[in-house]
Structure 1
């Protein structure tokens, strides 16, 4: 392998690390709900901890990457994942669990900004679009994490033992990968804390990413609950919808770069919104196993390209450095994670999970709308 190929492989393993940590947490959410005897609305409130942690980290994330480089931030975040994922399983009360989840969310967003900044640097070295393939590895890790989670549930392995196993994988990746990463020098554009107004391009991309993250958050946090309570599938198969979604999202991201080069980023984003809408409506109108799985597959394909394409556009901002621009878009988009999970729970409490999923379907159409009006905003970035 050439040095450039080693850099790509090393960064890919770190995207895999981030994905498997998040999926390991998500795959055991029903167990956490049962352990603490939480209702849907209470679970939705608990799930606020992750996006709150992400939002707390956002003003610092872009600045840290701009000042110290993405490589150092990646290493620190990886070690944080290794420590705090097992602490979720070892939490013995909500008073302990909530701050651990908030910190877990902070670590996740530091990792998110630093990984994508590093990916843009390597993409520039390649001279062609490769960012979506890194996100594909994140999704593949999510698929693997969901599968491991299903096996752990089937074997009645406690979440804390499950999370310790994943922490061992994280440690191995952190030992091997960082020496091949790029150490950025002379970051271009404006830096500083992300407490400033984004330009029109970043506002538009942030809105698109917001709706994409709203849809992703719905799938991540509520797939298992939806299949268990609406599709009424066997408890041992409750993760089937989540696995279908993650598998489709991973597959879609591995082909997204080629599609971007052929059809253009905006066309891909428009089609993504239509797929999200179609998949969620299908799973609501026909809430049985086969159509629901098919619907979740469509949603996975729809979500696949939204975040990598949004980040790729934002990272080419002429006003801000890549790390700061990504942090700005993430600040907007992570409100999707902030609003989505509790909103699903609250609507389910007063109405039904089906009604919640219809709302998210409408968000998919919003993505198509935002990529179809006032096209001049994108002129310098796509």
Structure 2
């Protein structure tokens, strides 16, 4: 594929808009994306029952969502570079919520699979655009604020689950539920899109998504892969681990997952402060160690208390890795932020695809404890890569 001449986006701060207002607007777009995804997740059991899907059928159909995200990575980077993250986000954000409503209309498995594919496609466009906005807002501040944006996404996950639980108990159907989310997202877009960071062309540089990948971006992608594989393992298998290995009572099975999620959200809100105190490089080294130690505690001491403590450490460990990796990628001097983020996301997101199945295969051959031990090694790999390379430095 021939190279294309592309502009370098740089933040253009309207003097009438404060940095704080821009930050709030960007955070709300992160929140809306997390809310839409969590709303879908909260209704998966209802949709499964409505379509009479088996566990195997549902598992196969759910693969369509990450597949759509992965396939769209190159296109998303190009769109953000050509039209600007603000231009893409103000269209993609409400479109993401609109596609959400179509999930409730699926009447067969293949229809659900097609809509999930579209949900993944539009979701990836939102992801690249909103993270490009995060990088631009961070440049306006001149210091790290990226982890707080991802914290807003995590808080939205809690809110989405709570809203879903409330509406289910009120016997409000899935379709109406998703329309409520759509209306909220549209209102947010109308009110806040004008406060997003706009971009101006300052210079031209040649980039192509399909040229030889930049070595720094590949290394950042591998670090992101290790973190997202860990997150995927915790999302999909922490409940099973507590039930089968920890042998927790039914009422306590969710404690492991909750411990992880709470500490991941908390870690993201203190992450920017930690970066300013000890530096991004040091924080990522510590993060990898926390994942390794936390998994080790859960593997060697599988009781409710100790495993919960271990999962809390893992949550703190993964909290700042992906936001820091995205921030570093967006600052790459050779490639435009949209394309750089798409490249790093492509490698990182493979962790979500490979991590959970890897857990299952190892568990089938040996034990789920061995599976989590292997995931713990990903934390050690993060620390090692950060220590042996200069892909991330101790700056803000």
TM-score range, shorter chain: 0.7 to 0.9
Alpha-carbon distance between aligned partners in 2 of 1:244 and 1:236, rounded to the nearest angstrom: 14
Find the counterpart in structure 2 of residue 26 from structure 1.
Answer: 41
Alignment counterpart, residue 357 of structure 1, candidates 355, 362, 372: 372
| Alpha-carbon contact 1:13-1:173 (below 8 Å) kept | yes
| Alpha-carbon contact 1:73-1:111 (below 8 Å) kept | yes
Task: Quote the offset at 1:144 in angstroms.
Answer: 2.2
Comparing 104-113 with 273-282, greater Cα deviation is found at: 273-282
Deviations 1:255-297 (A, max 9, x none): 1112112212111111111222233333344444433333322
The reply on whether 1:370 has 2:385 as its aligned counterpart is yes
Find the counterpart in structure 2 of residue 59 from structure 1.
Answer: 74
In structure 2, the CA distance between the partners of 1:376 and 1:136, relative to structure 1 (3 Å rule), is closer
Alpha-carbon distance between aligned partners in 1 of 2:182 and 2:216, rounded to the nearest angstrom: 38
The reply on whether 1:15 has 2:37 as its aligned counterpart is no
Alpha-carbon distance between aligned partners in 1 of 2:242 and 2:45, rounded to the nearest angstrom: 11
* Superposition TM-score, scaled by structure 2 size: 0.85
Comparing 338-347 with 360-369, greater Cα deviation is found at: 338-347
Alpha-carbon distance between aligned partners in 2 of 1:189 and 1:332, rounded to the nearest angstrom: 26
In structure 2, the CA distance between the partners of 1:315 and 1:282, relative to structure 1 (3 Å rule), is same
The reply on whether 1:313 has 2:328 as its aligned counterpart is yes
Tell me the C-alpha RMSD between the 2 structures: 2.9
In structure 2, the CA distance between the partners of 1:226 and 1:45, relative to structure 1 (3 Å rule), is farther
Alpha-carbon distance between aligned partners in 2 of 1:129 and 1:360, rounded to the nearest angstrom: 28
In structure 2, the CA distance between the partners of 1:222 and 1:380, relative to structure 1 (3 Å rule), is closer
Alignment counterpart, residue 115 of structure 1, candidates 116, 130, 133: 130
Alignment counterpart, residue 188 of structure 2, candidates 167, 173, 178: 173
Deviations 1:131-159 (A, max 9, x none): 11111111111222233345456667655
Alignment of 1:173-192 (within 5 A): 173-186=188-201, 190=205
Bigger Rg over Cα: 2
Alpha-carbon distance between aligned partners in 2 of 1:305 and 1:110, rounded to the nearest angstrom: 22
Greater strand content: 2
Deviations 1:211-251 (A, max 9, x none): 11111222233344544555555667654443332221111
Alpha-carbon distance between aligned partners in 2 of 1:171 and 1:239, rounded to the nearest angstrom: 33
In structure 2, the CA distance between the partners of 1:377 and 1:281, relative to structure 1 (3 Å rule), is closer
Task: Quote the offset at 1:166 in angstroms.
Answer: 2.8
| Alpha-carbon contact 2:39-2:178 (below 8 Å) kept | yes
Find the counterpart in structure 2 of residue 281 from structure 1.
Answer: 296
The reply on whether 1:242 has 2:257 as its aligned counterpart is yes
In structure 2, the CA distance between the partners of 1:46 and 1:270, relative to structure 1 (3 Å rule), is farther
Task: List alignment gaps of at least 5 residues for structure 2.
Answer: 1-15
Alpha-carbon distance between aligned partners in 2 of 1:144 and 1:65, rounded to the nearest angstrom: 28
Task: Quote the offset at 1:210 in angstroms.
Answer: 0.9
| Alpha-carbon contact 1:71-1:182 (below 8 Å) kept | yes
Comparing 239-248 with 296-305, greater Cα deviation is found at: 239-248
The reply on whether 1:251 has 2:254 as its aligned counterpart is no
In structure 2, the CA distance between the partners of 1:378 and 1:247, relative to structure 1 (3 Å rule), is closer
| Alpha-carbon contact 1:58-1:194 (below 8 Å) kept | no
In structure 2, the CA distance between the partners of 1:280 and 1:87, relative to structure 1 (3 Å rule), is farther
Find the counterpart in structure 2 of residue 97 from structure 1.
Answer: 112
Comparing 361-370 with 275-284, greater Cα deviation is found at: 275-284
The reply on whether 1:125 has 2:140 as its aligned counterpart is yes
The reply on whether 1:72 has 2:119 as its aligned counterpart is no
Task: Quote the offset at 1:317 in angstroms.
Answer: 0.9
The reply on whether 1:163 has 2:175 as its aligned counterpart is no
Task: Quote the offset at 1:163 in angstroms.
Answer: 3.4
